[in-house]
Structure 1
Amino acid sequence: MTVETALEMLQNMGRDDSDAGALSESEESDSDRSWVKDRSNTSSSSERESAGQQRKKRRRLSSKNSDRNIAFRLDGPFDGVEPATADVCAGGGCGNGQDGTAWTVLPLSDRPGRTQSQNVLTEAAGPTAHAQRNVEDALTAFVCLLDDGMLKHIRDCTVAEAHRHLGDSSWDLTVAELKAFIALLYVRGAQGAKHINVDSLWSEKWGLPFFTETMARNRFREVLKFLRFDKKETRRIHLQDDEFALVSATWNKFVANSIACYKPGADITIDEQLFPTKARCKFIQYMGNKPDKFGIKFWLAADVQSKYMLNGAPYLGKEESKGQLLGESVVLKLAEPFLGKGRNITTDHFFTSLKLATALQAKKTSLVGTLGEAKRECPPSVKEPAELFSTKVLKCANATLTIYQGKPRQNVCILSSLHTSVGITDGPKAKPESVTYYNNTKHAVDVLDQMAKAYSVKDGTRRWPVAVFYNILDLAGINAHVLYKECTSSRIPRRRFLLQLAEELRAEFMEGKRAAAHGAGPQQQPPPHLAQKRRQCQVRRSCNQNKTQDTCNTCRKPVCGNCVKRRAVTCVDCV
Structure 2
Amino acid sequence: MGNKPDKFGIKFWLAADVESKYMLNGAPFLGKDETRDKGQLVGESVVLRLAEPFLGKGRNVTTDNYFTSLKLATTLQGKKTSLLGTVSKMKRELPPSAKDQAELFSTKVLKCGDATLTIYQGKPRKNVCILSTVHTSVSITDGPKAKPESVIYYNNTKYGVEVLDQMARKYSVKASTRRWPVAVFYNILDLAGINAHILFKECTSSHIARRKFIQQLAEELRGQFMEEKRVHQLTQGPSQQRHQSPQPTPKRRQCQIRRSCAQNKTNHTCCKCQKPVCGNCTGRTEVTCVDCDA
Superposition TM-score tier, normalisation by shorter sequence: 0.7 to 0.9
Does structure 1 retain, via aligned residues, the 8 Å contact 2:254–2:276? no
**1:428 and 1:466, CA in 2 relative to 1: closer, same or farther beyond 3 A?**
same
> RMSD of aligned C-alpha atoms?
3.0
Match of 1:536 among 239, 242, 249: 249
Does structure 2 retain, via aligned residues, the 8 Å contact 1:368–1:416? yes
In structure 1, the residue matched to 2:258 is none
Residues of 1 paired with 2:286 and 2:228: CA distance?
Answer: 19
Tell me which protein shows more helix as a share of its residues. 1
Deviation string 1:79-112 (CA, Å, 9 cap, x unpaired) is xxxxxxxxxxxxxxxxxxxxxxxxxxxxxxxxxx
Does structure 2 retain, via aligned residues, the 8 Å contact 1:406–1:412? yes
**1:397 and 1:522, CA in 2 relative to 1: closer, same or farther beyond 3 A?**
closer
Query: What is the correspondence of 1:144-155 to structure 2 with a 5 Å cutoff?
Result: none
The count of aligned residue pairs is 280
Does structure 2 retain, via aligned residues, the 8 Å contact 1:516–1:524? no
- Where does the alignment leave 5 or more consecutive residues of structure 2 unmatched? 256-263
Residues of 2 paired with 1:431 and 1:495: CA distance?
Answer: 38
- Where does the alignment leave 5 or more consecutive residues of structure 1 unmatched? 1-286
- Report SS of the residue matched to 1:511: helix
Deviation string 1:161-188 (CA, Å, 9 cap, x unpaired) is xxxxxxxxxxxxxxxxxxxxxxxxxxxx
Does structure 1 retain, via aligned residues, the 8 Å contact 2:174–2:187? yes
Choose 446-455 or 505-514, whichever is displaced more: 505-514
Match of 2:162 among 428, 442, 446: 446
Deviation string 1:294-327 (CA, Å, 9 cap, x unpaired) is 1211110000110011111111223343220010
**1:544 and 1:369, CA in 2 relative to 1: closer, same or farther beyond 3 A?**
closer
Cα offset for 1:461? 1.1
Matched, 1:291 2:5: yes
Cα offset for 1:380? 1.2
Does structure 2 retain, via aligned residues, the 8 Å contact 1:540–1:563? no
Residues of 1 paired with 2:128 and 2:208: CA distance?
Answer: 39
In structure 2, the residue matched to 1:376 is 92
Does structure 1 retain, via aligned residues, the 8 Å contact 2:253–2:266? no
Matched, 1:510 2:226: yes
**1:540 and 1:298, CA in 2 relative to 1: closer, same or farther beyond 3 A?**
closer
Residues of 1 paired with 2:65 and 2:290: CA distance?
Answer: 59
- Report SS of the residue matched to 2:141: coil
Does structure 2 retain, via aligned residues, the 8 Å contact 1:539–1:563? no
Deviation string 1:397-449 (CA, Å, 9 cap, x unpaired) is 11000111111111111100111111011221110000100010010000000
**1:349 and 1:539, CA in 2 relative to 1: closer, same or farther beyond 3 A?**
closer
Query: What is the correspondence of 1:93-492 to structure 2 with a 5 Å cutoff?
Result: 287-320=1-34, 321-322=36-37, 323-492=39-208
Residues of 2 paired with 1:362 and 1:543: CA distance?
Answer: 66
Cα offset for 1:385? 1.6
Matched, 1:574 2:292: yes
Does structure 1 retain, via aligned residues, the 8 Å contact 2:69–2:87? yes
Residues of 2 paired with 1:389 and 1:477: CA distance?
Answer: 43
**1:354 and 1:507, CA in 2 relative to 1: closer, same or farther beyond 3 A?**
same
Cα offset for 1:511? 3.4
Matched, 1:497 2:213: yes
Residues of 2 paired with 1:564 and 1:368: CA distance?
Answer: 63
Residues of 1 paired with 2:181 and 2:66: CA distance?
Answer: 27
Residues of 1 paired with 2:220 and 2:62: CA distance?
Answer: 37
Does structure 2 retain, via aligned residues, the 8 Å contact 1:535–1:558? no
Match of 1:545 among 267, 271, 287: 267
- Report SS of the residue matched to 2:162: helix
Letter of the 1:555 counterpart: C
Does structure 1 retain, via aligned residues, the 8 Å contact 2:266–2:278? no
Deviation string 1:192-242 (CA, Å, 9 cap, x unpaired) is xxxxxxxxxxxxxxxxxxxxxxxxxxxxxxxxxxxxxxxxxxxxxxxxxxx
- Report SS of the residue matched to 1:459: coil
Higher relative contact order (CA 8 A, sep 6+): 1
Residues of 1 paired with 2:152 and 2:270: CA distance?
Answer: 66
Residues of 2 paired with 1:444 and 1:317: CA distance?
Answer: 24
Letter of the 2:109 counterpart: V
Residues of 2 paired with 1:444 and 1:409: CA distance?
Answer: 28
Cα offset for 1:504? 1.0
Does structure 1 retain, via aligned residues, the 8 Å contact 2:248–2:267? no
Cα offset for 1:512? 4.7
**1:510 and 1:433, CA in 2 relative to 1: closer, same or farther beyond 3 A?**
same
Residues of 1 paired with 2:110 and 2:187: CA distance?
Answer: 42
